[in-house]
Structure 1
Amino acid sequence: MNATLVAVVLSLVSAAAYAAAAVAQARLAGRTEPSAGVLRMLGRGAWWSAVGLNAAGALLHVAALKYGPLTLVQPLGALTLVAAVPLGARAAGRRVSRTEWRGTLLTLIGLGALLMTAGGGAAPHETLSLPEALGVGAATMAVVAGLSRPGTRPGLRHAAASGITSGVASALTQTLTVAVTDHTAGPLFSWRLLTVALLVSAFAMGGLLLSQTAYRGGLGAPLAVVTLANPVAAAAIGLALLGERLQGGAVSVMLALAGAAAAVRGVILLSRAQERPAPRTAGGDRTPADAGPAPSRIVIGSPRKRRRPVLARAARGRAPHAPDPGAPGLPGLDPLAVRTGGP
């Protein structure tokens, strides 16, 4: 079977696993207090389910990197967002909107254009040297430290840091994969491969924790930023250090730019559609989608003109006309039932 086809199929299944993990993480973030620490999260089964899905996606991704270059495998990771749209809508108990379908279609068109200009079908053979791996690791940690500093909009910055660390982990994973399966890449056990393996583990776990923090602000925009930052970081390493190139000449470059623009537009549409504000209550507060019905309010008045509640008029400083204590009460009117609320 063609190596490119194998890489594409493995990448598609990996994207589906990552999408399911992202939806699980977003639901967990919505049920977790922002002040909750990592240790508290480790005791939840939902967290370990998300970890298992991410691990499955990572293993499939590693297998895809054996058969395809970074410039081919990483853009397919954007399908994670496409798969997360119906999964997230189903988990929220709603239908996929027209805007979300438009974003999905644009993303697929953009990915198709990018795949036409990606690297050839030959399996990768280049690996990172020890100085290159250390340099990539140091630069990544510096960028992540800058993005994850305290400040405004932490969700999107943490999402960008998560995408970068995941993309770098993929690039480093390719070095491990090629070295293990291709004996011409050097000795199997060496300081270089041990260092690369440690960096892969650190960046993979760091990307998972950063994405969990980013999903506290919702699924759409953070996942879109992760989806865009991941292939950009991996492709930059592949083009700069691993000798990968885009196919074709100027026409292919223009096609790649058009595809990138379409994919970015699709991601923006998906992000906006998934960030719709929750409905407001009568008092102006936002209510979650899974909240129950608002408390009922019973106001007794004339059928022709609704009278305002007695308590509301008293709160504004205009006391109602008090009846004579000795007079009999109004028939059918219970003073305690003037304003009632639901359970």
Structure 2
Amino acid sequence: MNATLVAVVLSLFSAVAYAAAAVAQERLASGDSEAGMARLLATGAWWWTVVLNAGAALLHVVALKYGPLTVVQPLGALTLVAAVPLGARVAGRRVDGAEWRGTALTLLGLAAVLVAASGPAPDKVLSVPEALAVAGTTAVVIGVLARRGARPGLRHASASGFASGVASALTQTVTVAATDRSGPLLSAQVIGVALLVAVFAAGGLLLSQTAYRGGLGAPLAVVTLSNPVAAAAIGLALLGERLRGGAGGILLALAGAGLASWGVVLLTRVRPAVALAAPDDDHPVAAVLALEARSASSEPALMPRQPGRRSEPGHLTPL
């Protein structure tokens, strides 16, 4: 079987597992936004998300053995695509038109990137100095993004994406070096880089958990976009990976990346209506609250009436 096809199939299953873990993490984080990491670590459900992430990571590792970073990492956007129906299912609602459009654009863009980036199985790895330089630079970037300040969710999501992308690049080095029969299985290079992988993978997981406290859509999209950016930069700059087709291939890859990014942005802009249980007819208060909630989710936001401005009966001024 073609190596690139194997990498694509494994990446697909990995994305579904990552999406399931992200949906579960978001529900745990939003269920108690004041809960700290210590409390989450004591929750059995959170450890199930760790198991899902570990399974997804294992599939991802094998995919990196068969496909270059410029192919495998962009397919990480499938995580957001898979999270849309999974999140809708868990919330008890339907996937709306905007979500389907975002999904279609993301898939179309990924297809274009895949055509341009398809290449042979990787055979070059990062040297120890290169791995240390990448790790040090990434640690500085993560430290800047993880500082206290405004909009910590998106900054933590960016840091999580960079950490995961670098972890993937380092993982590919470990995988290729460990399976190289010309050298020892557990060389100093393999062991050292594997430790860096563990640190960045764990950091990415914890940063994503804190990012999801403000919701799933935008943080997951930022993780989805920043991850392949970091990994592809390493692949192109240090691992000798190239896009096929010369200038035409570069244009195709850029167009595909633009479409996929647009699709991801559309997915983050969707504000799904809250799924409501059927009101109890014997409980009028529940029925009224359900009706008001449905009205709030379907009506545009309202501006307060300006002083001195007449408003006709029944007329509402939308934003």
Shift of 1:290: 5.5
Per the alignment, residue 236 of structure 2 pairs with: 239
Per the alignment, residue 168 of structure 2 pairs with: 170
> Deviation digits for residues 58-85 of structure 1, max 9, x if unmatched?
0000000111111111111110000000
Per the alignment, residue 192 of structure 1 pairs with: 189
Q: Which runs of 5+ in 1 are unaligned?
A: 279-287, 299-343
* Structure with the greater alpha carbon radius of gyration: 1
Aligned pairs (5 A) from 1:1-343: 1-34=1-34, 36-120=35-119, 122-184=120-182, 186-273=183-270, 275-276=271-272, 295=285
> Is contact 1:119–1:245 with CA below 8 Å preserved after alignment?
no
Cα 1:123/1:147, change in 2 over 3 Å = same
> Deviation digits for residues 217-248 of structure 1, max 9, x if unmatched?
11111111000011110010111111111111
More helix by proportion, 1 or 2? 2
Distance 1:172 1:297 in 2: 55
Per the alignment, residue 301 of structure 1 pairs with: none
Shift of 1:106: 0.3
Q: Which runs of 5+ in 2 are unaligned?
A: 289-319
> Deviation digits for residues 181-232 of structure 1, max 9, x if unmatched?
1123x43333322221111001111101100011111111111100001111
Shift of 1:3: 0.8
Counterpart code for 2:185:
L
> Which stretches of structure 1, 4 residues or more, deviate above 3 A after TM superposition?
288-298
> Deviation digits for residues 132-179 of structure 1, max 9, x if unmatched?
111111111100000011111111111111011000000000011001
Distance 2:237 2:75 in 1: 20
Distance 1:109 1:296 in 2: 44
Distance 1:181 1:218 in 2: 40
> Deviation digits for residues 30-84 of structure 1, max 9, x if unmatched?
11233x2222111112101110110000000000011111111111111000000
> Is contact 2:15–2:79 with CA below 8 Å preserved after alignment?
yes
TM-score (norm 1): 0.79
Distance 1:52 1:261 in 2: 33
Secondary structure of 1:227's partner? Answer: helix
Counterpart code for 2:89:
R
Cα 1:296/1:219, change in 2 over 3 Å = closer
> Deviation digits for residues 267-288 of structure 1, max 9, x if unmatched?
0110001x35x6xxxxxxxxx7
The count of residues paired between Structure 1 and Structure 2 equals 284
> Is contact 2:178–2:186 with CA below 8 Å preserved after alignment?
no
> Is contact 2:93–2:275 with CA below 8 Å preserved after alignment?
no
Distance 1:221 1:170 in 2: 22
Distance 1:254 1:297 in 2: 55
Secondary structure of 1:117's partner? Answer: helix
> Is contact 2:92–2:275 with CA below 8 Å preserved after alignment?
no
Distance 1:62 1:181 in 2: 12
> Is contact 1:119–1:244 with CA below 8 Å preserved after alignment?
no
Query: What's the C-alpha RMSD, in Å, of the aligned pairs?
Result: 1.8
Counterpart code for 1:10:
L
Distance 2:191 2:40 in 1: 29
> Is contact 2:178–2:190 with CA below 8 Å preserved after alignment?
no
Cα 1:295/1:140, change in 2 over 3 Å = same
Counterpart code for 1:129:
S
